[in-house]
Amino acid sequence: MQHVATLEAGEDRTMVLNMGPQHPSTHGVLRLLLEIDGETIVKIVPDIGFLHTGIEKTYEAKFYQQCIPLADRMDYLAPFSNELGFCLAVEKLLGLDIPKRAVWMRVLLTELTRINSHLVWLGTHAMDIGAMTVFLYCFREREELLKIFEAIGGQRMFTSYFRVGGLAMEAPLDWFARTKKFIDGFPEKIDEYEGLLTGNPIWQARTKGVAQISAEDVIKLGGSGPILRASGVDFDLRRDMPYCGYENFQFKVPTHKDGDVWARYQVRVAELRESQKICKQALEGMPEGSIRADAPKIVLPDREKMKTQMEALIYHFKIVTEGFTVPPGEVYQAIESPRGEIGFYVVSNGTAQPYRVHVRAPSFANLALLPAMCEGKLIADVVAAIGSIDIVLGDVDR
Amino acid sequence: MLLGWRPDAVKAAKWDRNELAIVLERESLREACALLRDNPQTKFEFLADITCVDWYPSDPRFEVVYNFLSISRKERVRIKVLLDGSDPNLESLTSLWPGANYFEREVFDLFGIRFNGHPNLRRILMPDDWEGHPLRKDYPVEGYR
């Protein structure tokens, strides 16, 4: 097996430099081929696929409920976003309505996952540029978040907590109090990060005017999410094409007009603050009621009912062994993941297994912006540019 | 909505689950998509995704799927083109959207569909010397042994 992406050096002054795949600042296994003229980049060719696991192919051999853990493993920094996208797509195919409490819980967890993902981004991005301390601060809060995820889903990263038709189980007893404590204390923590970076002249020098890209180019190249907003396009799927009850929450969509690394930093930090507000609203307005839709053929029954009611036991057996069938059709469900638009294109042929699932991975599309950002600029800024795109290679390669 | 399209370009259109899907004639894809982007009444300026569905063994076998988003109008549309299995190829959209580059390479890699006019149609996820196209339905899930 070989990846033979090659790049020939030009005739006179240029040379080719190989960066990665094992390079800490590539955030995974990204290989870059850089043609350089002194310190200036002439051409940049990303080489990807080192983490390709064929998840889309595996989906075709799984029941719908078995697809959810696999969704986690694509964008492993934002598992709830992936689960939400997949569940919403299948629910759209089924025409299933979800109880309000489950919707609120989903919003809460998806926003917590956005905070989690942005914290990893901020910590590693700052470390790439040379600010070591921020990493320790960010991972302090991320650790608490992972414990919160573990308490509710049983796992720190691959939670597999959402289900088609609702959620796996009710949150444990002190979970809301613990989450509320975290959320209430979080704005101060953001101030700490900003205190370390925003006014820091080195940070500004390394980010302002670096890897600039115009809104027009971002749209043409298919970039989405914070990158699009940092170039001045005021568009957020949560507000503009609401899904999963986001229309019930008040939040601002931060934008910036500069389109450089600094702008993307500002937008993501502002998003941390907005996500905190959404979490707060979700916790305060959390409705009572069921967390599962009333659809016995799709949603697993309560454990208690299984012990006393024969129908519940039969449904449980049928769902686990045969899955549930989904009416034929196709949907494209896009949601705003921390990295941009993640879209699930699900095609059903009426059986219990999806005929085809395609994932529009935001990192994959956003990586295409890298050459446009870096060519003609300095080699030292490549690391800053990669960090500011915030790619997850699991998401790029799937 | 279909302003400016050739009358024979549209083969079928379906409104299902609040999503519009239009099947286009293979030859008119590029022209129709350019109109979709530039017509002020449609303005689908964002090519969100390109993928493919393999309907093996039925014919036409492949269905190439384009998902467009209009950022200004906040709407989506899905364009599809049907291709037969013997020599699947169609026109590339890279000249209209440079971002189509990676998506088309992915479809080429995993389905073996050639995009004419693509500047760099190489495998992107699988190794360059890989045999077969893994997402085709006649490719076993566990791979060739």
Residues A373-393: pLDDT tens digits?
888 888 888 888 888 888 888
Please give the interface size between A and B, counted as residue pairs whose CB atoms are below 8 Å apart: 105
Residues A175-195: pLDDT tens digits?
999 999 999 999 999 998 988
> What is the reported pLDDT for A226?
92
> What is the reported pLDDT for A2?
45
Residue A7 has pLDDT above 70, yes or no: no
pLDDT band at A1 (very low <50, low <70, confident <90, very high): very low
Is the CB of B128 less than 8 angstroms away from the CB of A93?
no
Interface membership of B45 toward A (CB under 8 Å): yes
ipTM, two decimals? 0.90
Residue B35 has pLDDT above 90, yes or no: no
Sequence-distant (≥ 6) Cβ neighbours of residue A54 within 8 angstroms:
A398, B134
Is the CB of A345 less than 8 angstroms away from the CB of B124?
no
Residues A114-145: pLDDT tens digits?
999 999 999 999 988 888 889 999 999 999 99
Backbone φ and ψ for B40, nearest 5 degrees, come out as -60, -20
Residues A236-290: pLDDT tens digits?
998 888 888 898 899 999 999 888 999 999 999 999 999 999 999 999 988 888 8
> What is the reported pLDDT for A6?
61
Interface membership of B135 toward A (CB under 8 Å): yes
- When the pLDDT of each residue in chain A is averaged and rounded to a whole number, the result is 88
Interface membership of B27 toward A (CB under 8 Å): no
Residues B39-96: pLDDT tens digits?
888 888 899 999 999 988 888 889 999 999 998 888 899 999 998 888 888 889 898 8
Closest chain A residue to the Cα of B140, Cα to Cα? A57
Residue A202 has pLDDT above 80, yes or no: yes
Q: Which residues of A touch B48 (CB under 8 A)?
A: 222, 224, 334, 341, 343, 360
Sequence-distant (≥ 6) Cβ neighbours of residue B111 within 8 angstroms:
B52, B54, B62, B88, B133, B135, B136
Residues A83-106: pLDDT tens digits?
999 999 999 999 888 999 999 999
Residue A397 has pLDDT above 70, yes or no: yes
Is the CB of B125 less than 8 angstroms away from the CB of A48?
yes
Q: Nearest CB to A3: which of B69, B98, B127?
A: B127
Contact A139, A121 (CB under 8 A): no
Percent of chain A at pLDDT exceeding 70: 97
